[in-house]
Amino acid sequence: MSFGNKMYVSALVFCIVISVARCSGNLGFPPGFKLGVATASYQVEGAWNVSDKGESIWDRLLHTQPSLSADGSNGDVACDSYHLWRRDIEMAVELGVDMYRFSISWPRLLPSGFANYVSEDGKRYYNNLIDGLLEKGIEPVVTLYHWDLPQYLQDLGGWANPLIVDWFADYARVAYTLFGDRIKTWLTLNEPLIICDGGYNKLWAPYLDDLKVAAFLCNKNVMMAHAKAYRMYDEEFRPLYQGKVSFPNIFFWFEPETPADAEAAVLTRQMWHDRYAHPVFSQAGGWPPELEKVLLANGKREGYPYPRLPPFTQEEINYVKGTYDFYALNHYTTRLVRRVKPGEAGSWIFYGSEEINVAIVNDPSWTTAVTDWFAINPTGLRKQLHWINSTYGISDILITENGLPTFEKDLLDVNRITYIRSYLEQILLAINDGINVMGYTAWSLMDNFEWLAGYTVKYGLYDVDFTSPNRTRTPRESARYFSNLTKTRTLTDDNIYYLRNVTKNTKALKTLAIMEC
């Protein structure tokens, strides 16, 4: 298919989506709904050894094994946001966003990993970013941990060492103390599933191979670390600053491939999502009972004398339960689930599917992006929001990540516009259903270092020229679309007008002017 034809198909899909939206009810954002963008420290900051910054697990991994990233690259410079933070704020202003989610680099603020020494330069950098955003009327939303653990703490066992609960709490206390007067929304640990199942399955730093034991030790420790950081804020800092705390949970929506696979889909949701949600959000607390039973039986069959998923004591259950002020959701895609067939080898991806004997597959009717794991199914998000609300009785949900990966540098990224618009439509439909979704955060503000994909995969509303010493940022059409969205606060006719303006300047989309949607 030629480029022109691809763009025609994308434009046609977009027009169909908008036409349906015109008849689908109220698609204006409600009062108070926030639109934002997000980044993470290792992916954008660079300056990996500037001043007294400590070494992170990603620094160590990609300096010692550079071939692990798809293009042999690393985050040593990345977007150079450590030096170009003013431009980052300028882009947020251009987009007109209400909030900018970024993460603090633990080893930049605490070079040793411990609270015995706070970096003045690290503190200055984050103060500059926070104050600069607030001066422009943009709310800073801060993630304490987005995967760049100090390497020294990893040498001491990292997330498999239960002492990390205290180490993380000490770090959180420093951050709350330094920045809590201005930060009203805190996120503790980004995607615990990736921290544990990715980090101990040779897919993310620290790139270890121990899904049987260490990954499950990590499961419990991240839950306890989150709870301790939450309890500390609740008791000591909330009376002073009245902020809110949660953690972003990645949750692909899973549907059964056939009605007979309903139980498999439930168990898959428990493996992916409820390991981290059930201890915090459920009325009972603790691990999901069905999953805990399955994992215990697996361990016994394999000869382990103790549960591989460490049990919570009743005191720990009560300590972790209820440690949230809202639900933070990172959502990207939907998958189908079925039981593994006799003789079938393996399954899609790595997050424990072999433990629960399921295969995770695509619906052939869904379009995929970049790789086969990224299926585009916007209605899955609406179903997921309902499921979260009904399962846990959550009153407030914030979408903390959602976005489309591409391989192309194209500035005319109609597919990304289509993706954002269609997922936002499902959010607004869920709001009309009575689900209180507080806001939407696009991933990402700009192209950045996408972990082991290096710079080959692009999520940015802004293109970044990684060959330029200035890391030049250029708005894509999706940035212009998002800017229009933040002005109009609706998905209906004014955005159709925007798209028509695109067609006037883009030969590849000239057909849209004829179609008139």
Assign residue 37 the CATH number of its domain: 3.20.20.80
pLDDT at position 488: 94
User: Which residue positions in the chain have pLDDT lower than 50?
Assistant: 1-24, 348, 494, 497, 503, 505, 507-517
CA atoms of 443 and 416, how far apart (whole Å): 11
Whole domain around residue 371: which residue ranges? Answer: 28-491
Of the residues 55, 191, 257, 355, which is catalytic? Answer: 191
pLDDT at position 164: 98
pLDDT at position 137: 98
Q: Is the Cα torsion angle 43, 49, 51, 53 positive or negative in sign?
A: positive
- What tokens does 310 get? 């460490």
pLDDT at position 103: 99
Rounded (10°) angle between helices 262-269 and 289-301: 90
Select from 210, 131, 206, 101 the least CA-distant residue to 164. Answer: 206
pLDDT at position 9: 42
pTM exceeding the 0.85 threshold for the entire prediction: yes
The answer to whether residue 444 is domain-embedded is: yes
Q: How many residues are there in the chain?
A: 517
pLDDT at position 25: 56
**Strand-pair partners of 131:** none
pLDDT at position 515: 30
CA atoms of 175 and 172, how far apart (whole Å): 5
The answer to whether residue 186 is domain-embedded is: yes
CA atoms of 413 and 285, how far apart (whole Å): 43
The answer to whether residue 112 is domain-embedded is: yes
pLDDT at position 373: 83
Whether 355 contacts 294, CB under 8 Å:
yes
The answer to whether residue 230 is domain-embedded is: yes
The identity of residue 213, as a single letter, is V
pLDDT at position 347: 54
- What tokens does 24 get? 């689908």
CA atoms of 451 and 374, how far apart (whole Å): 16
Instruction: Tell me how far CA of residue 444 lies from CA of 115, 254, 433, in angstroms.
Output: 31, 24, 28
The answer to whether residue 161 is domain-embedded is: yes
- 401 a catalytic residue: yes
Token pair 């009904």 is found at 390
The rounded radius of gyration (Å) of the Cα atoms in the chain is 22
- What tokens does 396 get? 């407030």
Number of domains in the chain: 1
- With 0-12 CB in 10 A as exposed, 13-18 as middle and 19+ as buried, what is 388? buried
CA atoms of 141 and 104, how far apart (whole Å): 10
Of the residues 45, 139, 401, 477, which is catalytic? Answer: 401
With a CB cutoff of 8 Å and minimum separation 6, the contacts of 454 are 69, 70, 71, 72, 73, 74
pLDDT at position 510: 42
C-alpha angle 170/176/178, rounded to 5°?
A: 105
The answer to whether residue 212 is domain-embedded is: yes
The answer to whether residue 501 is domain-embedded is: no
- 516 a catalytic residue: no
Count CA atoms within 13 Å of residue 112 on its CB side. Answer: 7
Whether 132 contacts 86, CB under 8 Å:
yes
The answer to whether residue 20 is domain-embedded is: no
pLDDT at position 345: 59
- What tokens does 192 get? 């615990």
